[in-house]
Structure formats: C-alpha cells, structure tokens
Amino acid sequence: MNGRYILPFDTSTLPVIDTDFLVIGSGSAGLRAAIEANKHGSVLLMTKSALKESSTRYAQGGIAVAMNVDDTIDFHVEDTLKAGVGICNPQAVQVMVEEGIERVAELIEWGAQFDKEGDTLGFTMEGAHQRRRVVHRGDATGIETTDALVNHLRKQKHVKVVENAFAIDIITEDETCYGVLALVHDVVHWIRAKATILAAGGLGCVYQCTSNPDVATGDGFAAAWRAGCEMMDMEFVQFHPTTLILDGAPHFLISEAVRGEGGVLVNIRGEQFMGRYHENAELAPRDVVSRAILNEMQSTGFPCVYLDVTHLSPDFIQKRFPTISRTCGHYGLDITKDLIPVRSGAHFMMGGIRTNLNAETNVSGLYACGEVACTGVHGANRLASNSLLECIVFGSRAAESAVNYARRLDQKDLERVRVQSESSHSITDSFDVECGKEKIRQLMWEDVGILKSETGLKIARDVLKEMNQVRSWSSMAAFEFQNILDVANLITQAAIIRTESRGAHFREEYPDLDDVHWKKHIVLCRDEQPRLVD
C-alpha cells in the first residue's frame, strides 16, 4: 500500500456535510448504533446501497440468545468459547450473552415477530449449541430484524439517512478521526463528524464463492487499515458449509437451521458422511463440516454434495423454510422431493478492526461494531447465530462510547481541522477493474480458502503484490477493487504467519492445534511489523 489515501484532496476545498455522529453501514449493527446515538445529537447514517440492503437482511437461521427455559447464560458462554477454540475474549463473550437478552427483548418490543410455540418464543437448534436457543422468523430472520430496526429508526427525530453513498477513506489528523471522505451523489464530500461509527459489514466478495450480498467487498476493513487501525485475527474467515450450487442460481445460503431440524448431508453416491468426521455429525462446528464437504467432493470427483430433507414432512418444510423452499423452487428444485446441491462459501470474518469492550479502536473518535470489528467474541470460529447478537449488543455499545467522546468536542474543534492528501496512486484508466476483482476472488478461493498450504499462500502473496502496481480510480467499482486487494493482502499475510490449524484456519502442513505457540492473536497495523498479543 503506497498511499495513506486513495484520492488526492484538500478538505478546505471539499463540500462539507456536518453531523454529530456518522454511522457507516445499515446492517443491524449500524441501525442499532444510529438509534442509540439519536438520543444525544444529530446522526447521519450512510449506506452503500439501499437502507435495507446488508448482510443482516440475508441472515436466515436466527439470533442465538439464552432465553429458553432450560438454557442459561453460562451454557451460551460455554458454547461460544468452545466454538472459538481457545482465543475468544471471555469478557466480551460474557457481555454479548448477558446484554443480548435485553437487546433481543428490545427488538420484540419494537415489533420483531419471531416464531412462537403457543404463547412463548420458539427456539431452534443449530450446530455446536447444547441447547435450543435460536429465535427466528421462519428462515427469514434477517428480514424481520432489519424491518424492525428500520421501522424504529424512522421514528427517530435526529437521524438523516443517505443511501447509495460510498465511504472512500477515513479522514484523520494526529491519529484522530474527523469523519470520512465519501462519494455522495457522484460528488466527493467530507462528511465531518465528532464521532464516527464504522459498521460497514463483511468481506465475503473477496472470494469467488460466497453467501454474502454484492456490497460485501471489505470496504470498512480496508479503509480502517489505511487509517492506521489495528487489524486482528484476519486469517479467520468462516466458510458456511451449505450454499446452493446450481446452474443459473446465485450462491444462495441454505441455513444451518436446515441441519438443525434434521437435514442430512450425502455425497454423490448417496452416502451420509458427516458421522465419519465428527461425533456431532451434521451439527459439528462449521469449519469441520466445510472441510468434510470439500474432502467428499475431492474423493468423489464431484463438484458438490447434497443436503437431504426429503424425509421430513413437506408441510413442516414449507412452514419452517419458506424462503429456501421458494428460492429453490424458482430454479426447478422441489426440496420436499429433491436433494439440494450445496458446497461451502465464504460467509463471515471473525477478525477485523481490533476494538475493546466499548467498541473503541486505536484511532480516537473512531468506533467499530458488527462484522467489520474484532470484539473477540468469535475467536477462531463463530458459533452459529451469534452474529446478529453481536451486532445489536456492540452497536448499542459503540453509540454509547461515541456519545461520551463527542461530549468533549466543540464544533469549532472540527472546523479547525484541515487535511490534504497527494495520492501516490498511479491512474491507469485502461485497467479492467472487474477482471481484476475476479482474478483476486479466484486466487483467494483456490489458495487462501478452506484449506491452505504454504505453497499456495506464497503464490497468492506474490500475485497480490504484483497487482498492487496497477490502479484505476474512475468509478466506485475501482474503489471496491482497491479494498478487495487490500483485504486479500491482510488475510493472506495473517494466514502465512499462523503456522497451525485452529478453527476456520486450516494449514495442510500444520494440521494440529498448537496452544503452546499460537494461543495468541495476530495484529497487523499499517507501516508496522506484525505482532502477537494474548
């Protein structure tokens, strides 16, 4: 990375939009942060696409929360720590699980209609949980959660929403954040804020096969990296075991809840195979299931395996999984009668911008929450359906921290700031941005994916280094290319450093867990050497 900023600019000549609190991203973390910050000042929520377009909206399984009669906070904490393979932050996990109960109750109060069994909430089972603790709305929990948060947001008096706006870079002076350089209505602006909350979502589109929406190009991770944020656990990319693989169909997520309700995986020979890989079979941790599926594909020479629910009641399937049933039906697949062809896809980043329990980053005035943040709750492998829980808990916490920080600032403090950048990026208008993106995605899928080897990782590192020499800044797609490239570099660098296998990170030369040397976190920071922290 040659330049701190992508574009040359002078804040004294840019059009300025002022706000007390800037929230970047409209997933559940960003929405919850904006709702909380609204109580204390003006809020500008900017989102890359439409307000309701985010990874949250595509979440199917539900929200894990210790509210069932036979469940406890301790059980939920225990399951989360076990899934994280020894490197979760226990304090952060405790905060998420305890405060998550209140946050979910709040969602219900705001209108979320989760499924019930009689007069009480219905809970489903998912992999690596010891209790049925996942609240859901059919297989469209993300839509229900998004709608409840957006409807409540629209009741707030001090929130302005700017859609189809792109945060290019975080503006800093003396390691303090003063908002972002943003493309708004095709014009570069300085969105100037007392406090900035980054909730920009995930990075699945760095990979060729992903369950994420098209907007998940790692923009928040890359902008934070360029701004000097500490990035932690970037080697831990979770691959969801089951995404639909069908000609003409998108890489649609087939929820883990399908296996939780009795769905089984079979290979092309019709053999159930998960019992050979883990005692919990279909309900094993996601990394185990993903590697098992890949192994079955390689051993049979077939490009997918199948998820079988044909032994379940057709009425139950239609009621419990209407979205999955409808989507598969659109492509000629009747899941009550037909096997569902699936393979794994990049799904969730456990690492990200290093934060403390209050969502503070190492850059003053900048807070991070949701998937873009590394709060420490997921460790090496996220427990199913903990993601939305993390978002609403730490989205609220990020806003509380931002409010406390902003109280110390006066508008005149912001008006005195002037930042200039002479970008060192060369402009090459002939460069095919979309071709560049696809090259990175294929490289990451093949060499920095579910299984990693030293040879493959070094090939990826060298190819990415060469791509750093080619740049084009004529469109938002070009900014996305740079972000995908920066994030791919971070993932690859961290994956080379960690010479063991832990959770979602599997090195073929180092297949074993090594707690003696590697029960640690890798922290990457711009212009600094990588370091290990406990």
User: Which residues are marked as active site?
Assistant: 286
Residues with Cβ < 8 Å from 261, sequence gap 6 or more? 124, 125, 309, 312, 316, 320
Q: What is the DSSP string of 496-512?
A: HH--S-BTTB-BTTB-S
Nearest to 59 by CA among 222, 180, 240: 240
What is the SS3 assignment for 458? helix
Q: Which two tokens stand for residue 210?
A: 């992903």
* Whether the Cβ atoms of residue 97 and residue 390 lie closer than 8 Å to each other: no
Residue linked to tokens 């992999």? 127
Q: CA angle, 228 as apex, 222 and 232 as ends, to 5°?
A: 70
Q: CA angle, 271 as apex, 269 and 277 as ends, to 5°?
A: 125
Residues with Cβ < 8 Å from 356, sequence gap 6 or more? none
Environment class of residue 69 by beta-carbon count within 10 Å: exposed (0-12), middle (13-18) or buried (19+)?
Answer: exposed
Q: What is the DSSP letter of 118?
A: T
Residues with Cβ < 8 Å from 171, sequence gap 6 or more? 11, 177, 178, 179, 180, 181, 190, 192, 419
